[in-house]
Chain A
Amino acid sequence: GEDVEQSLFLSVREGDSSVINCTYTDSSSTYLYWYKQEPGAGLQLLTYIFSNMDMKQDQRLTVLLNKKDKHLSLRIADTQTGDSAIYFCADWSDTGNQFYFGTGTSLTVIP
């Protein structure tokens, strides 16, 4: 099956930029996603990128996709304490007919 890898923890100071990285193995992935999970809650879609794009910007969020290296990143500009959460990278596999999620990166923002 597909492997989606993320580092488990990231700590940044309030106002700095955060960069969360993700690698995946399925070269046929057409959509890649970033989800956010706040404590005690389900996952909510933050943004997604289609595989024929290199970059997508949405307010404070920038998604970069390097399809050759199968590397996805999420940059959060001007990180706030409200951004503290777990961030999941995910992709959709047509062959597996399912979403594959990474392990999640726990982002802690230090005031």
Chain B
Amino acid sequence: NAGVTQTPKFQVLKTGQSMTLQCAQDMNHEYMSWYRQDPGMGLRLIHYSVGAGITDQGEVPNGYNVSRSTTEDFPLRLLSAAPSQTSVYFCASSYKGRGEGEAFFGQGTRLTVV
């Protein structure tokens, strides 16, 4: 049981490049989400999904796209990277997202945009 797997662990991008951060979970969780963590700001929600085919925006969605074609995978796409997107990104999943169960987090992707 791998839990939540994020790849890559580290990435350096040039301004304007695009890339996809991968997230996969093997717990059959319906709710998946992406956060970014910045110093002094805690975790801020980028996008979330309550099931395959359903996604919605969080607090800071601009510059990011998501899709959820399967229950297991929830990739995050950066369309045109900007230095303001330098951050640590976490993917998380939980059973229903109703608060009754814990959220399981991936190990994070440290992204630097130069």
Q: Which residues of B contact A43 (CB under 8 A)?
A: 43, 90, 92, 103, 105
Say whether A44 faces chain B, with CB atoms less than 8 Å apart. Answer: yes
Q: Which residues of A contact B48 (CB under 8 A)?
A: 97-98
Inter-chain contact A101/B42, CB cutoff 8 Å: yes
Q: Which of B93-114 contact A (CB under 8 A)?
A: 97-100, 102-103, 105-108
Q: Which of B1-58 contact A (CB under 8 A)?
A: 4, 33, 35, 40-43, 45, 48, 50, 56, 58
- CA of A97 to CA of B30, assembled, Å: 13
- CA of A40 to CA of B36, assembled, Å: 14
- Using A1-B59, A43-B90, A88-B42 as known contacts, say yes or no to A99 and B100 having CB atoms under 8 A apart: no
- Sorted from nearest, which 4 A-B pairs have the closest CB atoms? A92-B99, A42-B105, A45-B102, A31-B99
**CB<8 Å pairs between A and B, sample of 15:** A31-B100, A33-B102, A40-B108, A42-B105, A43-B43, A43-B92, A88-B42, A92-B98, A97-B56, A98-B45, A98-B48, A99-B33, A99-B45, A101-B42, A103-B41
B residues within 8 Å of A by Cβ? 4, 33, 35, 40-43, 45, 48, 50, 56, 58-59, 90, 92, 97-100, 102-103, 105-108
